Every structure is written in structure tokens, then in C-alpha cells.
Chains A and B, each alone.
Chain A
Amino acid sequence: MRFLYFDRIIEIESGKRIRAVKTFPLSEAYLKKHFSRAPLIPGSILVEAMSQITGWLVVYTHKCETSCVISLINNLEVPADLRAGATVELHGEIVETDRRWSNCRAWVERDGERIASAERFVFPHFKEKYPEEVANFYRDIGWIEPRWDWETP
């Protein structure tokens, strides 16, 4: 299993926003036990998806020289009945960022309708020891060619 909960990043703007696509095929391993009579996408997977895209936006904004982990999430809503086969669009925005931490929000849309959201993700920053590896990851997994023509916050 690859613990990556976006399939493709379709828009990213340093310091501002990210938009990505995620599909939930019936073949996802977790659906076997969630649940055997009703394959439903666990809310925690949507939490992870929103965390991952906002985390990627923070790292991209800081030119891959920063890594980050979540320390706080506030006011998060997820659907209890999202079925396998769904395709969703993941949205993330930076509310505030500086050298030490970032504050982000995120939401999930299906057919243009918001089905999940989180008001606040707080990410403390850490110095990234291998920025070139992270940039390669963006190229290989994220469908993004990193550009670094902006001022780091």
C-alpha cells in the first residue's frame, strides 16, 4: 500500500492554494474491513487526504527546505456514507505561514458539492535535510515540476 491519498495535483500556487484529485476504487485494501457488507470510505482517510495536500502546499511554498507535521486540527467534518467508486476534488489553502509554522484550511468536493472540510490545520515546521529528494518526489508522484521563483515566507 502506498500511503498517498491524492492521485494527481492539478493546481498549486505557492503560499496560496492547492487542488488535487482523488479516486476511491473498490480495490482499496481498507474497504475489505470497512465494511464487509458496505464499502464506505473511512472518515479518517479523508482526514489524511486533506492533511497530505495541505502539507504538500506548505512544503512547496517553502521550496522543499521545510518538512512539517500536524499538531492540531479544528472543526473537521467528514461524511459517514461516502461509497467506493467516488471521485473527489481536494482543496487546500494557506491562511498564514512563516518560517516556524503554517495554518491551513481544506475541503473536499464531490460533483461541485462540499462533502468534507476542516477549518484549521496547524503545521509546525522542521528543517528538511534532503530538499532535493523531496523535489524529486514532487516530480515523480505529484505531477509537478518544482519552480522556485518566489520569495520564501
Chain B
Amino acid sequence: MRYLLVDRVTSWESGVSMEGVKNVTMSEDFLEFHFPRFPVMPGSMILEALVQLSGWLEAAGSGCECWFLLERVETIKYYGFALPGDQIELRVEAAGEEEGRSRYKGAATVGGERKVAVDFSGRVVDLKDYEDPEEQAHLFRVLTRDVKLS
């Protein structure tokens, strides 16, 4: 599995919030076992999509110098399933700091219908220790449709 769970970044305000989408397709590897007769996107992977969107929010506000790593989930509530063919609308909002951790509120909806609400926090790290910042900046341009072939 290619562990990139945000397909597109649709809008953001530096340091404040970011919105994006994740498309669930029948070809996703994880659907084979989750579940064999009832394929739905695992809740942990929707959490990962929101964590990655927080990483992109940190990167967008720092010129690709920062990223975000999950350490704590206070509460995550699942209200319904995301099935193959669904487009999940993702939103994260920065919610301040506590005990040295950056806090976020995340939400996932499908067609405006609430599927997930989560409060989580973690560590903001130097992106260069984890990824090549230039490649990450290019990927961000792909996610925001700011690229051309030539």
C-alpha cells in the first residue's frame, strides 16, 4: 500500500485549518480483509488521512520545514462507514498546544454526512529528518493541482 491517504488538498489557511479529500476505491488493498463481505475504509485509515492532512497543514505554514506525528487521540467517534466509491471530505483545525503537543480537531464527512470526529495531538518535527523537503513540496503542488507536465 502506498501510504499517502490524502488525494487532494482543496483549501487551507496557514496555521489555522486545511481541507482535502480522500477517494475510497474498490482497488484499495485494505478492503480485501476489511471486510471480505462488507468492504469499508478502516477507521484507523481515516484517522491516518486526517493526521497526514495535519502534516500538510504544518508543511504549508512553514515552507515545507515542518511535519506532524501522531502521539495521542483523546476521542475518536465513528458515526458511519465510508464505502468504495465514496469521496471523503477531510478537515483539520489547529486547536492550540498542550504539554508541548500540537492539538488538532479533525472531521470526515461523505456528501456532507458526518462519519468521523476526532481530537488528537502530537509532535511537530523537522521535515528534513523524515522526507526530502523538495520532493514533499512537489507532492504538495500535486495535491493542490499546481503542476504542469512541461
Interface residues of A (CB under 8 A from B): 1-4, 29-38, 40, 42-45, 47-48, 51, 67, 69-80, 118, 129-130
In the assembled complex, the Cα of A129 lies from the Cα of B48 at a distance in Å of 30
Closest to B2 in A: A33
A80 touches B71 (CB 8 A): yes
A37 touches B44 (CB 8 A): no
In the assembled complex, the Cα of A37 lies from the Cα of B133 at a distance in Å of 11
In the assembled complex, the Cα of A75 lies from the Cα of B76 at a distance in Å of 9
Stretch at the interface among B16-24, B25-33, B56-64, B89-97: B25-33
B33 touches A80 (CB 8 A): no
Stretch at the interface among B105-113, B122-130, B141-149: B122-130
- Collect the chain A residues with CB atoms within 8 Å of residue B35's CB: 67
Interface residues of B (CB under 8 A from A): 1-4, 29-35, 37, 40, 42-45, 47-48, 51, 69-78, 81, 122-123, 125, 128-132, 135
In the assembled complex, the Cα of A71 lies from the Cα of B114 at a distance in Å of 13
In the assembled complex, the Cα of A116 lies from the Cα of B43 at a distance in Å of 18
In the assembled complex, the Cα of A3 lies from the Cα of B3 at a distance in Å of 13
In the assembled complex, the Cα of A72 lies from the Cα of B117 at a distance in Å of 10
In the assembled complex, the Cα of A44 lies from the Cα of B53 at a distance in Å of 14
A72 touches B3 (CB 8 A): no
User: Binding site of B, secondary structure by majority: helix, strand, loop or mixed?
Assistant: mixed
In the assembled complex, the Cα of A106 lies from the Cα of B116 at a distance in Å of 21
- Collect the chain A residues with CB atoms within 8 Å of residue B43's CB: 51, 69-70
B71 touches A78 (CB 8 A): yes
Chain B nearest CB from A52 CB (Å) reads 9
In the assembled complex, the Cα of A36 lies from the Cα of B130 at a distance in Å of 6
- Collect the chain A residues with CB atoms within 8 Å of residue B32's CB: 1-3
* Given A45-B44, A80-B69; A72-B75 close (CB under 8 Å): yes
Chain A nearest CB from B56 CB (Å) reads 13
Closest to A71 in B: B78
Chain A nearest CB from B30 CB (Å) reads 4
Pick the 8 closest A-B CB pairs, nearest first.
A44-B48, A48-B44, A30-B3, A43-B70, A35-B130, A80-B69, A1-B29, A76-B73
A36 touches B71 (CB 8 A): no
Chain B nearest CB from A63 CB (Å) reads 18
- Collect the chain A residues with CB atoms within 8 Å of residue B135's CB: 36
* Given A42-B48, A69-B78; A78-B3 close (CB under 8 Å): no
In the assembled complex, the Cα of A38 lies from the Cα of B131 at a distance in Å of 8
- Collect the chain B residues with CB atoms within 8 Å of residue A67's CB: 35
- Collect the chain B residues with CB atoms within 8 Å of residue A73's CB: 73, 75-76
B130 touches A38 (CB 8 A): yes
B77 touches A3 (CB 8 A): no
- Collect the chain A residues with CB atoms within 8 Å of residue B4's CB: 33
In the assembled complex, the Cα of A57 lies from the Cα of B23 at a distance in Å of 31
B45 touches A1 (CB 8 A): no
